[in-house]
Amino acid sequence: MSFPPGFLWGSATAAHQVEGNNIASDFWAFEHTANSIFSEPSGDACDHYRLFRQDIALLAELGLNSYRFSIEWARIEPEDGLVSRAALAHYREVLEACHEARVTPVVTLHHFTSPRWLTALGSWDSPETPERFAAYSRTVMTELGDLIPYACTINEANISRVIRLILGDDGPRSVQQAPVGLGTGGAGAAEPAAHAFFSRKSFLTTYNENAFDVVTRAHQAARQAIREVSPDTKVGITLAVQDVQPLPGEEKTAQRVWAEQFEDFLPAIVEDDFLGVQNYSRIRVGPDGMAPLPEGAEVTQMGNEFYPQALENVLRRAASAGLPMIVTENGIATDDDTRRIDFTRLALEGVERAIADGVDVRGYLHWSFLDNFEWMHGYTPTFGLVGVDRATQRRTVKDSARHLGEIARRNALR
């Protein structure tokens, strides 16, 4: 079977994880906070801010026709109300490089990181954030929307609920001080713990219902702004969609977990043009929440179960949203590239079956294009189709990249 005409075959990155030196962002500060749980700072990352042209050319040379990347809010608006024309010009060059290479850009406007100044104002727990995010989105799309066919407003808007499921209601510990200034205290000043990474005011750990309301309103406000200034752009959101499987007798528990992570977001996305589905594995649910992995299960570098069948399951279930879907992330952290090939093949066989049964899937964007900065885990986990020697920034194409590229050229698995 062939995939539908115009199917998006590509890979994905996020600005903070690959660009390097994102010094105006909250995460840069969090990485340099005393007692930070980040294993290392992001630093130069993959130097993609400088090397984007060669990376996009390589992606196209491999046979991929789409690239998902994020525009960094902290670069566009490094201080509250101050728009960087240079940053806008840079991202225009990135977008132009995609179009010149005949690569369809899928742009994410917020991929976890925010400007430091937003954190000082309450970040994603502040009722002012939706308006500020919409203003930023309007600025980007007014300047660049002519080059952006697909815009994802917020990456994994449900991620805090996923983290809560994994780590429990208390969430991660808070650091006690932030020697890198996040607000008016300036660099070197001790900041309140409420402004540190593992507070309930950080995007990744906004557990309370007020924060849920802020995130969903921010998406809706941004969607409206985008449609006003760039009506031809298709607008959506991405969700981390877990394949929730109940242990015997725990069907109601699993349904509650699914509702918290997916169904609760449906009212906010019903008017979207598409849904970005992101999946890496399954979770099994028991009476006390997430159950341990099955005995003897193969485990990835991130501690996930090797379970590529999860993607088909979540696509079939997420189809209840009634929106066209793009797989905006799917992949595996491993140093064994043969297992990456196996994972991708098995996941895509599931996508193929779902499409054959009428599930509306428009694309598959593998995570990630480059071995990159994997947040608090640093550079140890390797998700990339392309390896990166960070001492030299030399790229090495893996067999898994060629494997996916060959599928993309055929628009078929075999």
Pull the structure tokens for residue 97: 């490089």
Give CA–CA dist 35/33, Å, rounded: 6
The C-alpha angle with vertex 91 and arms to 86 and 93, in degrees rounded to 5, equals 95
How many CA atoms within 13 Å lie on the side-chain side of 5? 0
Pull the structure tokens for residue 369: 């294009």
Pull the structure tokens for residue 362: 């428009």
End-to-end CA distance of the chain: 8
271 is catalytic: no
Query: For residue 149, what is the DSSP state?
Result: S
Query: For residue 353, what is the DSSP state?
Result: H
Give which of 277, 98, 109 is closest to 203, Cα–Cα.
109
Give which of 344, 371, 410 is closest to 63, Cα–Cα.
410
The C-alpha angle with vertex 211 and arms to 243 and 229, in degrees rounded to 5, equals 90
The SS3 call for residue 110 is: strand
Q: What is the rounded radius of gyration, in angstroms, for the C-alpha atoms of the chain?
A: 20
Furthest C-alpha separation in the chain: 60
Pull the structure tokens for residue 325: 């879907």
Tell me the residue type at 400.
Answer: S
Which of 19, 72, 156, 374 does the annotation list as catalytic?
156
| Active site members | 156
